[in-house]
Amino acid sequence: MNEGLGLVYERFVLNDYLLALLQRYPIRTVLEAPAYGMAGITGINSLELARAGCSVTVVDEDEGRIREAREIWRRLNLQANWVCCPGMKVLPFPDRAFDLAWEWAGLWYLEDAESLLRELARVSRQLLFLAMPNPLQPGYILRKHFLEPEFFGKVDESWANMKRVKEVVESEGFKPVEEAFLDTPPWPDTVMPAAKLLEKLGIKSRRLRERFSGASWNWNIVDYYAGRDPNLRERVMRYAFLEKSLPRFLKAFWSHHRFVLFHR
């Protein structure tokens, strides 16, 4: 459950945005598909929506990931509808079945992301919220060209281009109502634990390596949800000063994710 500071920060700012949507729109039913996108624990992105009273359905193409996520939800006394959908090309739901359909950073893992986007549009009654990694931020560029170039041979990077996402969704009768950036902490997004990053960069400082490892470097949002670490949010959100203050044109080059919110 130790996801690291960066992932826990990402979850908190995403949670804040999702809860703000509940204040703006009458959302009662939610579909998240695919569940796999954010690093760390798969299947808990919609937990806060369930805690707020929404009926949540989570879809993924891997039964093992679903089992693991379902167990976490059970331990937290929360419920979701779980659906395994190999290929993610056709969703087993009627038209306009959900108030909100959404995904976080998962499109580029899919064999046919366009089909899923059209399915998300079909089953959404009013809102689509779609987010992908920001290819302009320094950590993305560092990862692509130095730290982990092999990763980009396994995904369809064209889906990091939100223009392509918009073209598909707009063709299904949705209009963008908000296009912006989320997840803007002080550090770049390399999708790599800090201690491993230092090793990759050839930094051998023992002091730095110890600082980013060991028992003191444990960031667990499930403990927060369970009430075992109620001060976690306060500790993490000290790093949200850029999230709150950077102008949009700078966020375009530093935020880890960009998103579009669509309305039917």
Q: What is the DSSP string of 23-48?
A: HHS---EEEE--S--SSSSTT-TTHH
Question: DSSP code of 192?
Answer: S
CA atoms in the 13 A half-sphere facing the CB of 165: 29
pLDDT, position 184: 97
Q: Calculate the CA dihedral of residues 244, 249, 253, 259 and round it to 10 degrees.
A: 70
Q: Alpha carbon of 218 to those of 9, 24, 121, 200, 210: distances in Å?
A: 13, 34, 38, 21, 13
What is the rounded average pLDDT of the residues 111-136?
A: 98
Domain count across the chain: 1
What is the rounded average pLDDT of the residues 58-82?
A: 96
Kindly indicate the confidence band of residue 190, based on its pLDDT and cuts at 50, 70 and 90.
confident
**Percent share of the chain, pLDDT over 70:** 90
Is the pLDDT score of 195 beyond 80?
no
Q: Which domain holds residue 33?
A: 5-263
pLDDT, position 118: 98
Mean pLDDT of the chain: 92
Is the pLDDT score of 207 beyond 80?
no
**Percent share of the chain, pLDDT over 90:** 84
pLDDT, position 215: 62
Query: Phi and psi (nearest 5°) for 57?
Result: -120, 130
What is the rounded average pLDDT of the residues 157-161?
A: 97
* CATH number of the domain encompassing residue 58: 3.40.50.150
pLDDT, position 61: 95
